[in-house]
Amino acid sequence: MEIKIIGDPVLRRKAKRVNFFDSALRTLIGEMVRKMYESAGVGLAAPQVGLSIALFVFDDQSGEGAKEVVNPEIVQTSSETLLGEEGCLSVPGIYADVERYRWIKATYYNRYGQLKEIELEGYPARIFQHEYDHLQGVLFIDRLPKETKAILKPKLLKLAKSSKGVTGSR
Ligand code: ZN
């Protein structure tokens, strides 16, 4: 399992819904959780490891450990937004303030195919929105003001260039 870096087309694809809640899915979730911790990330979406399916894992540091999220839908959001710094394992070395909804309500399925509803606020809501974006083919850099994007552009191009055709690299 290797982390895909910006420039890899899988990061730009809309992920397909998961239809089978089988042992293969549970194994995959376990591997993604391990990869997330190994990479010191707070979230990891399946497209980031080359799989275009609607699945991500995250750990909001609340002490509850890693959570898996399958086929999520954000069903309600606050009108209020917050700015906060984000980075991404697929966009290494780049950190920037991103505007996100302060509060969200979402539905998703767990590894057993049970439908869940969750309300998140602040940091956990931010992580959820960041990972949810990955399933739509959206990266946090897409949400930056265009002035910030312009400043980051040379760095991003360099990352994209080095990511292409280089397998086994981060
Ligand atoms: Zn990310």
Kindly report, residue by residue over 60-86, the tens digit of the pLDDT. 888 899 999 999 999 999 999 999 999
Of 31, 68, 131, 147, which is the active-site residue?
131
Segments forming the whole domain that contains residue 156: 3-168
State mean pLDDT over 9-18.
97
- Nearest-angstrom CA–CA distance, 113 and 100: 28
CATH code (residue 107): 3.90.45.10
Answer yes or no: is pLDDT of 170 > 80: no
Instruction: Give the model's pLDDT for residue 129.
Output: 98
CA of 28 to the centre of ligand 1 (A): 18
Active site residue 131: yes
The pTM for the full model equals: 0.93
Residue type, 51: L
Residue showing tokens 């899988």: 10
How many structural domains does the chain have?
Answer: 1
**Residue of 157, 110, 104 lying closest to 130 (CA atoms):** 104
Residue type, 24: A
* 78-108: pLDDT as tens digits: 999 999 999 999 999 999 999 999 999 999 9
Q: Three-state SS for 74?
A: strand
